[in-house]
Amino acid sequence: MPSHRKPRTRTRPAVPALGVTTAALASVSLLAQSADAAPTVPKPSIEEVQRKVDDLYRQADLATQKYDAAKEATSTQRAKVDSLLDQVAAGTAKLNDTRRVIGGYAAAQYRDGGVTPTMRLLFSDDPQAFFDQDQLMGRLSDEQHRTLSTFETERAANAKKRAEASRGLAALTTSQQTLRAGKEEVQGKLTAARTLLSTLTAREKERLAALEKKKQDEAERKAAELAARQAAAREKPAPPAGHAPSAPTAPSGPSAPASAKAAKALAFARAQMGKPYVWGATGPASYDCSGLTQAAWKAAGVDLPRTTWDQVKVGTRVATADLQPGDLVFFYDDISHVGMYTGNGMMIHAPHSGAYVREESIYYMPVYGAVRPG
C-alpha cells in the first residue's frame, strides 16, 4: 500500500565563506592598526643633530656656572653659620658662668637666713623687672648689680645670635636646595646629549665627525686671519719723530709682551692639557672652564672669582684684535664659557663633558668679549 508520507528533505548546514570572512577580518585589523599607530616622526638630519648637541653642551655649560655659583654661596653660608654657632656656644658658656656667680649670691643669702625676695627676682624669667623696683635696688651691692646687668646683657646678645644663626641655617638650606637643582639640571643636559649621540649609526657618526672637522677648520682659518692682523700691527712702523704722542703711553695690544704673571698663568694652563673636563671641578685632576682659568691665574698669584659671570668683571676689558697671551676670552651672550688666550687666535680651555683640556681657535664659539686680569 503506497505511503502518504512526504519524503524528508535533508538540509545542509550553512558553511561560512571562509575566504571572504578572513579577508574582511584582516581589513578591519589593518584599519584598527592604522588608526592606533602614531604618526612617524622624521629622523633629524646630521646637521640638526650637530646643532642640538652643541646647544645641549652650551646649556650644560650655563647650568654648570649656576651650579658653581650655588656651590660657592653654600660654602660661604656654611662658614657663616658655623661662625654664628660658635659664637652662640661661647655666649652660652659665658652666660652660664654669670648664672653660676648669681647662684653663689643666692647660696650665700640662703646661708645667712634664707632666700630673700631679691634672689627670687634674680632668678625670675624677667630679671630686668628687678631694676624697675627701686625699693629693692638698695639690697644689691655694686658687684652684684654689675653681675646682674652683665647677665641681662649677655642673655640678650645670645638670643640675638641664636636668631641670626637660625636665619643663617634657613638660608643654608635654600642654598643647598639650589645646589641640588643645579646638579640635576647639568646631569639632565648631558644625559640628553649622550642619548642623542647614541641613536646615530656608524655612518652617521662619520658624517657628524666630518661636520665637526669642517667647523674646526673654519675656526682655525679665522684664527690665522687674526694672527696675521696682529703680526701686521706689531710690524707697523713707529710714527715720525714730529708726530710722536705728547705723553708716553703704556704698551698695549698685540705689540705688548705678556706680563710675567700672564706667562705663569699660561704655563700652568698648558700643563693641564689632556686632563678631563668635569663640571664643577677646580683641579688638580680635572676642571670645568672657569675652574681652569681660576686655577691658572691663582698659580700666578692672582685670585679670580669662581664663575664666568664674575671673572668677566675682573681686570681690563680688551678688544679681540688686542688680545695677549693670558687674557681671558668669554663666549656666548650668556657668558657661559671661558678660555685663556695663547696667541695667534688660539686658546686653551676645558670644552665640555666628555672632552679634555685642549688648545683650539677662539672662533670655535661666538666670542662675547675679553678681559686682562692681573
Measure the CA–CA gap between 373 and 262, rounded to whole angstroms. Answer: 8
Residue 114, sorted as left (phi over 0), alpha (psi -120 to 50) or beta, turns out to be left
Nearest to 86 by CA among 161, 21, 151, 16: 161
Instruction: Give the Cα separation of 348 and 358 in Å (integer).
Output: 6
User: Which residues lie closer than 8 Å to 321 by C-beta, 6 or more apart?
Assistant: 226, 229, 230, 233, 253, 254
Cis link prior to 237 (omega < 30° from 0)?
Answer: no
Rounded to 10°, the helix 46-111/202-235 angle is 80
Q: How far are the Cα atoms of 89, 96, 107, 137, 349 from residue 123, in angstroms, in the given order?
A: 22, 13, 12, 15, 67
Q: Is 253 helix (H, G, I), strand (E, B) or coil?
A: helix
On the 0-12 / 13-18 / 19+ scale of CB atoms within 10 A, 305 is: middle
Strand (E) positions, the chain?
316-318, 328-331, 337-343, 346-349, 358-361, 367-372
d(CA 252, CA 243): 19
Catalytic positions: 289, 337, 349
Alpha-carbon span 223 to 319, nearest angstrom: 15
Provide the 10 A C-beta neighbour count for residue 158: 19
- Contact predicate 62/181, CB 8 Å: no
The DSSP symbol for 240 reads P
